[in-house]
Amino acid sequence: MSSHLVPGDQAYRDDKQLVADLAALNEQLSRYVVRMLDADARRTEPVSVADEWRFAQRLRTMADRVKQRADRRGAPDTPSLLEG
């Protein structure tokens, strides 16, 4: 299987959704970082613990999805960076 999004691939829909979800996560990550910097500069309140836990879970879920894609594409001789 190639590393490109190719219509007709069995996993095309999943990969396309993964890319869209990663783009949304990237936006959320950017907001999180800016919020942390603003809180550190005392310009705003820090992110709540509950929101931080939810964000951490979303990061973990997305990391699992990326790992699943890598596993599906097959690279048995490549160690997983997400194991641990």
Q: Which of the pair, 72 or 8, is modelled with greater confidence?
A: 72
Residue 60 has pLDDT above 50, yes or no: yes
Whether the Cβ atoms of residue 38 and residue 44 lie closer than 8 Å to each other: yes
Query: pTM for the full model?
Result: 0.73
Q: What does the block give as tokens for 12? A: 């095309």
Query: Mind giving me the DSSP string for 23-80?
Result: HHHHHHHHHHHHHHHHHHTTSSPPPPHHHHHHHHHHHHHHHHHHHHHHHHH--TTSPP
DSSP-derived 3-state class of residue 12 = helix
Domain ranges across the chain:
12-72
Summary mean pLDDT of the chain: 86
